[in-house]
Amino acid sequence: MRRKLAAGNWKMNGTSADLDRLATLAASHGAAGCEVLICPPATLVARAADSVSGSAIAIGGQDCHAAASGAHTGDVSAAMLKDAGASHVILGHSERREDHGETDAQVRAKTEAALASGLVAVVCIGEKLAEREGGKTLDVVGTQLDGSLPDGVTGETLLIAYEPVWAIGTGKVPTLAQIGEVHDFLRTRLEERFGAATGGAIRLLYGGSVKPGNAAEIFAVSNVDGALVGGASLKPEDFGPIIDALEASAG
Ligand code: 13P
């Protein structure tokens, strides 16, 4: 059984005034029946980890450098995130691939760094609209999956987030059949590379315009093990019901 996970990606949102959202979430969902992960901006990771301490909510970063330390002004290493109280890190988000030109090889190197520091990596992949419309979705996500993952990952150290770029922040969501097609494809691809046991244990999150109103139907799709939520994770009154829907889907 793969344990379900609801993850919130705050992106470049949030200052200390927003930490009370975490206290609210910890009060209502601090012992949820699924895993709950919040990834605030790097400036808040340490204080966020303090705010949720004593609850089961985990804190993650949104990126890390591939090197452990050194002359990389403005960057943060996996070991630094871990030291600040993070247990997870999002890597290869489409906004990083787009804004910073991150390649699959760089995401792979970052994933290796995260694993070496004891962080769980949440590696993001997803096609752009033109790729979807050109019938290239499975080719694109398959190539990203192959290139972004190092060898030696496990179900405990890695999650994949399938986030169609055109669904992020747009209110547009693929059909349930489209989500299922990609998730089933990714499951097979992981099993082929890592073997049935490991490939079957790696959790596959869906991300892109997940809201309280569509969460339950998305969580019922085969091989959807949870969600990576952007905008709706900023409001406990939206993220709470998404967590509830995930718990309900776990039965
Ligand atoms: P939205 O939920 O705002 O569409 O963002 C999804 C996302 O990019 C999460 O990483």
Q: What is the predicted pLDDT for the residue at 197?
A: 98
CA of 172 to the centre of ligand 1 (A): 11
Where b means 16+ CB within 10 Å and e means fewer, 130-139 reads: ebbeeeebee
Record the tokens describing residue 85, joined without a space: 């109280």
Which residues are catalytic, by number? 93, 163
CA of 209 to the centre of ligand 1 (A): 6
d(CA 184, CA 186): 5
Provide the whole-model pTM: 0.98
* Pair 90, 107: CB distance under 8 Å: no
CA of 166 to the centre of ligand 1 (A): 10
Structural element, H or E, at residue 35:
strand 35-39
Q: Is 163 in the pocket of ligand 1 (CB under 6 A)?
A: yes
Residue type, position 2, single letter: R
pLDDT digits (tens, 9 = 90+) for 216-226: 999 999 999 99
Residue-wise DSSP of 61-73:
ES--BSSSSSS-T
pLDDT digits (tens, 9 = 90+) for 104-133: 999 999 999 999 999 999 999 999 999 999
Record the tokens describing residue 235, joined without a space: 């409001």
Eight-state DSSP code of residue 131: H
Q: What is the predicted pLDDT for the residue at 30?
A: 85
3-state secondary structure of 121: strand
The radius of gyration computed from the CA coordinates of the chain, to the nearest angstrom, equals 17
For ligand 1, atom 1, name the residue with the nearest CA: 230
The CATH code for residues 5-249 is: 3.20.20.70
Record the tokens describing residue 118, joined without a space: 């004891």
* Residues in the chain where the model's pLDDT stays below 50: none
For ligand 1, atom 5, name the residue with the nearest CA: 230
For ligand 1, atom 9, name the residue with the nearest CA: 230
